[in-house]
Chains A and B, each alone.
Chain A
Amino acid sequence: MATPLIVSEVAKAFIMHLRGGIRLPVVANVSFSVRAGECAVLGGPSGAGKSSILKMVYGNYGVDQGQIIVEHHGALVDLATANPRTVLSVRRDTIGYVSQFLRTVPRVSALDVVAEPLVARGTDRRQAQKRAAELLGRLNLPERLWSLPPATFSGGEQQRVNIARGFITDHPVLLLDEPTASLDATNREVVIALIDEKKLAGTALLGIFHDADVREAVADRIVDVTEFAAGRAAA
């Protein structure tokens, strides 16, 4: 499909029950789509709702209104209403996600953390580890760290593990939440190269990049999230 991700009239508010039930509108009327082979970047100031949009697309935040359509296993799925089992299946095979921070799991080595999404999709563990090693090598993660659990790694080291984990599969849609935030210039360049390769392979990328240089290098299009400000849509 030429447009693997379509977001249509999505709205999200948080109701804070512990604070007297106040309603915090975040975004409304969010509509955009991402084509195969392009990288769309969510733009807008801090608090505009960029991460919230990514999280809704990943099924990590609930959706109040609207539709998030992905092509999954040859059929169209609306993630706004999909059941947990479908969301899990979409995550395994269709939508990948590089979160802003790695959520570490005790006692699992960096190499296995990276290999895991491939293993979950049925790739032989050895082969998955080989691919994981290639990616960690490209991202200049010192080889002595590969067999250690990432819990004690530095921010930038953890982030590289996270990036490798996100890029190891060939999910048709890939979400990136500030993947380069804690990286040095050399590794930022590696990430830019990895993104370019994904584009060539036909992946639809949706990302958030605070770093203007990276954004310029990878963005085919900026989706301005301030246009979806919840207040404005209500007016």
Chain B
Amino acid sequence: MTDEPLLRVTALSKYYGSRIGCEEISFDLWPGEVLAIVGESGSGKTTLLNCLATRLLPTSGTASYRMRDGQWRDLYRMSEAERRFLMRTDWGFVHQNPADGLRMTVSAGANVGERLMAVGDRHYGNIRSTAVDWLGRVEIDEERIDDEPRAFSGGMRQRLQIARNLVTGPRLVFMDEPTGGLDVSVQARLLDLLRGLVTDLGLAAIVVTHDLAVARLLSQRMMVMKDGHVVEAGLTDRVLDDPRAPYTQLLVSSILQV
């Protein structure tokens, strides 16, 4: 077990003009840990996630990341090129809408292979066999490797997006409502798959979801957001079984059972 976190977030705030996106968010994330961010619509979940993934620059606050060589780097002081490299190699970002994370007009195999090439793999045979392997891991039939994701169902597209993100062996994956746009039965399968992959690969992940069952199944820790603030945080089962903040109690009581 590592005694150092992977990510350190301190007093992170993002304002859109005078409107609060998220305010004064602080937490540490350790390797292999899955953190769920839950809360109502407009509470700042996506804003926070995008700031952490450096897709958005915060108004104030810091986030430091421990690189593979053990060096700590301030995410908002990195050069654009360094950040892009990190995003392509050490990180993954799974969007709610697969179309935002995939290239819809190139084949499934190329969608996966492209990320491998970004980390320097140039051997066509290797790339193809790794792509086949990953399609298998996300339960997409090898025969579909040359099809474009346009021809895939929503659930398949989402699984392909996951394969594309995980193929480079990232240490940290950001997910924004990964099961959001899918049918309930398709969601269950995807969730299972995600859970298995996250455990097997020992990934750290930050998962934004409005679905407490998703949080329960995937995460060890949870932050509950409201109006841009964290109103409660802790062990996922503690927060769900003994919610203390009024808003968390409302959230937990408004669903049948998680």
* B221 and A62 within 8 A (CB): no
List chain B residues, Cβ under 8 A from A105.
192, 195, 217
* B235 and A84 within 8 A (CB): yes
Which residues of B are at the interface with A, using a C-beta cutoff of 8 A? 1, 30, 33, 188-189, 191-192, 195, 217, 220-221, 234-235, 237-238, 241-242, 244-246, 249-250, 253
List chain A residues, Cβ under 8 A from B191.
106
Given A105-B195, A107-B189, 14 more pairs with CB closer than 8 A: A15-B244, A17-B250, A18-B253, A55-B241, A55-B242, A59-B238, A60-B241, A61-B241, A62-B238, A62-B242, A62-B244, A85-B30, A106-B191, A108-B192
How far, in angstroms, from A207 to B188 measured CA to CA in the complex?
A: 34
Using CB atoms, name the residue of chain B closest to A88. Answer: B220
List chain A residues, Cβ under 8 A from B217.
105
How far, in angstroms, from A88 to B32 measured CA to CA in the complex?
A: 12
B186 to chain A, nearest CB (A): 13
> Is A87 part of the contact surface with B, judged by Cβ < 8 Å?
yes
List chain A residues, Cβ under 8 A from B1.
89
A66 to chain B, nearest CB (A): 16
List chain A residues, Cβ under 8 A from B242.
14, 55, 60-62
How far, in angstroms, from A81 to B235 measured CA to CA in the complex?
A: 12
Q: Using a CB-CB cutoff of 8 Å, which residues 10-55 of chain A contact chain B?
A: 14-18, 55
Pairs A–B under 8 Å by Cβ, sample size 22: A14-B242, A15-B244, A16-B249, A17-B246, A18-B250, A18-B253, A55-B242, A60-B235, A61-B238, A61-B241, A62-B238, A62-B242, A84-B221, A84-B234, A85-B30, A87-B238, A88-B220, A89-B1, A105-B195, A106-B192, A107-B192, A108-B192
Top 6 A-B residue pairs of the complex, sorted by shortest distance between their CB atoms: A17-B246, A84-B235, A61-B242, A107-B192, A17-B249, A84-B221
Residues 55-89 of chain A, each 1 if its beta carbon lies under 8 Å from chain B, else 0: 10001111000000000000000000000110111
How far, in angstroms, from A108 to B200 measured CA to CA in the complex?
A: 13
List chain B residues, Cβ under 8 A from A16.
249
Using CB atoms, name the residue of chain A closest to B242. Answer: A61
* A106 and B241 within 8 A (CB): no
B224 to chain A, nearest CB (A): 13
B241 to chain A, nearest CB (A): 6
Using CB atoms, name the residue of chain B closest to A61. Answer: B242
* B244 and A59 within 8 A (CB): no
List chain B residues, Cβ under 8 A from A62.
234, 238, 242, 244
How far, in angstroms, from A18 to B252 measured CA to CA in the complex?
A: 11
A152 to chain B, nearest CB (A): 14
List chain B residues, Cβ under 8 A from A55.
241-242
How far, in angstroms, from A55 to B244 measured CA to CA in the complex?
A: 15
Using CB atoms, name the residue of chain A closest to B216. Answer: A103
List chain A residues, Cβ under 8 A from B238.
59-62, 84, 87
A40 to chain B, nearest CB (A): 23
Using CB atoms, name the residue of chain A closest to B234. Answer: A84
Using CB atoms, name the residue of chain B closest to A82. Answer: B235
List chain A residues, Cβ under 8 A from B237.
60
The one of B30, B188, B244 that contacts A106, using a Cβ cutoff of 8 Å = B188
Using CB atoms, name the residue of chain A closest to B245. Answer: A17
List chain B residues, Cβ under 8 A from A17.
245-246, 249-250
How far, in angstroms, from A17 to B195 measured CA to CA in the complex?
A: 33
* B192 and A87 within 8 A (CB): no
List chain A residues, Cβ under 8 A from B33.
85
Residues 76-116 of chain A, each 1 if its beta carbon lies under 8 Å from chain B, else 0: 00000000110111000000000000000111100000000
List chain B residues, Cβ under 8 A from A88.
220, 235
A96 to chain B, nearest CB (A): 15
Q: Using a CB-CB cutoff of 8 Å, which residues 159-186 of chain A contact chain B?
A: none
